């Protein structure tokens, strides 16, 4: 009869020490491998940001470089007290909130279809993802044509809209057209991110809930969505930051007319069209800070422990 003896305490300590040394060695190797990429990224991204921060402290027009004058925070005061800045910021936030909310609902429905479909799965998934493969400028031109007063087909397709209605003749219809273009183009990206989260929901949990008598609606709210919270946060975060930088659709469809400018479009006009590098740089810095604020708010709102979601907690 054999006997089972507990491992000696000294052997356990040696094993833990060896494992600890191996972990430290792997961590050091990981840091060495990513260090060149991190340094390169810092050089590429940090230098333009520092240059913009420096230029924002000057009254500097590119057509008169010799007249450059240090003005401190005067450019920021000018921007923050200007009605146009707040109007464009409101447009940007409105587009971000509406498009991300609609894309979240439609994207989740698409993700459910792509996850559950049992026939022609490749064809259906490809069909759903096609809009995301189209260049944004091309998509914007297509939707501008669709909403066009002279050649568009939207007025003919919608029975409650007059056939002579000009979608780009007023603020709200123009904003609606811009949002439709944005939603059509980027909903597949949201669906793709949600599909990744949906595939991680345990089928065993769903079967157990079904055996317990939970309805489809209860399984959705009590099992599926809570287990997808990390994926939903990532999808919302990526799309919110992307939507906040909206530029292409507005540039192509309205060129900022009817008060449809976004914060990025205002920055473009100041820097590229009016060559006001000082004011444009101040706008760029404020845009960067607002993006950081939005990212922080979304992470705080979802309260997701990413380490735990990765199984490291």
Instruction: Assess whether pLDDT exceeds 60 at residue 6.
Output: no
Mean pLDDT of the chain, nearest integer: 87
Instruction: Assess whether pLDDT exceeds 70 at residue 130.
Output: yes
Q: How far apart are CA 35 and CA 281, in angstroms?
A: 30
Q: Strand pairing partners for 276?
A: 61
The whole-number pLDDT of residue 308 equals: 61
The whole-number pLDDT of residue 181 equals: 94
DSSP E strand boundaries for the chain? 58-59, 69-70
Instruction: Assess whether pLDDT exceeds 50 at residue 4.
Output: no
> What average pLDDT does range 154-168 have in this prediction?
87
Q: How far apart are CA 266 and CA 251, in angstroms?
A: 11
The whole-number pLDDT of residue 124 equals: 86
Does 194 or 8 have the greater pLDDT score?
194
Q: Which of 30-44, 83-97, 152-166 has the highest mean pLDDT?
A: 83-97
- The two tokens of residue 200 are 């991680």
**Residue 207: partners with Cβ closer than 8 Å, 6 or more residues away:** none
Phi, psi dihedral angles at 60 (to 5 degrees): -140, 115
pLDDT tens, 223-277? 898 888 889 999 999 999 999 989 999 999 999 888 999 999 999 999 998 888 9
The whole-number pLDDT of residue 7 equals: 56
- What DSSP letter does each residue of 80-103 carry, written as one string? HT-HHHHHHHHHHHHHHHHHHHHH
Q: How far apart are CA 127 and CA 218, in angstroms?
A: 30
Instruction: Assess whether pLDDT exceeds 50 at residue 1.
Output: no
Instruction: Assess whether pLDDT exceeds 70 at residue 102.
Output: yes
Using alpha carbons, select from 235, 230, 283, 232 the residue that is nearest to residue 79: 283
Q: How far apart are CA 275 and CA 261, in angstroms?
A: 18
The whole-number pLDDT of residue 2 equals: 45
């Amino acid at each position: 009869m054999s006997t089972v003896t507990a491992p000696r305490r000294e052997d356990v300590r040696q094993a833990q020490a060896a494992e600890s040394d191996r972990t430290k060695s792997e961590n050091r190797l990981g840091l060495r491998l990513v260090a060149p990429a991190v340094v390169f990224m810092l050089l590429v991204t940090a230098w333009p940001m520092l240059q913009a921060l420096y230029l924002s402290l000057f009254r500097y027009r590119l057509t008169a470089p010799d007249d450059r004058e240090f003005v401190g925070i005067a450019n920021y005061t000018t921007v923050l007290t200007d009605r146009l800045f707040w109007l464009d910021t409101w447009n940007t936030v409105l587009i971000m909130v509406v498009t991300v909310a609609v894309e979240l609902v439609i994207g989740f429905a698409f993700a459910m279809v792509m996850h559950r479909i049992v026939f022609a799965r490749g064809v259906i998934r490809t069909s759903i993802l096609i809009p995301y493969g189209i260049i944004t400028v091309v998509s914007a031109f297509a939707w501008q044509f669709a909403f066009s007063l002279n050649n568009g087909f939207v007025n003919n397709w919608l029975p409650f809209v007059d056939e002579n209605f000009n979608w780009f003749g007023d603020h709200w219809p123009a904003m609606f057209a811009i949002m439709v273009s944005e939603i059509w183009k980027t909903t597949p990206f949201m669906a793709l991110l949600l599909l990744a989260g949906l595939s991680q929901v345990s089928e065993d949990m769903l079967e157990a809930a079904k055996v317990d008598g939970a309805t489809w609606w209860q399984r959705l709210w009590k099992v599926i969505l809570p287990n997808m919270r990390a994926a939903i946060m990532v999808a919302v975060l990526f799309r919110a930051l992307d939507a906040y930088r909206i530029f292409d659709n507005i540039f192509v469809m309205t060129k900022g007319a009817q008060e449809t400018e976004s914060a990025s479009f205002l920055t473009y006009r100041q820097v590229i069209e009016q060559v006001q590098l000082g004011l444009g740089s101040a706008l760029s810095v404020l845009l960067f800070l607002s993006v950081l604020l939005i990212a922080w708010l979304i992470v705080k709102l979802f309260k997701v422990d990413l380490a735990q979601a990765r199984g490291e907690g």
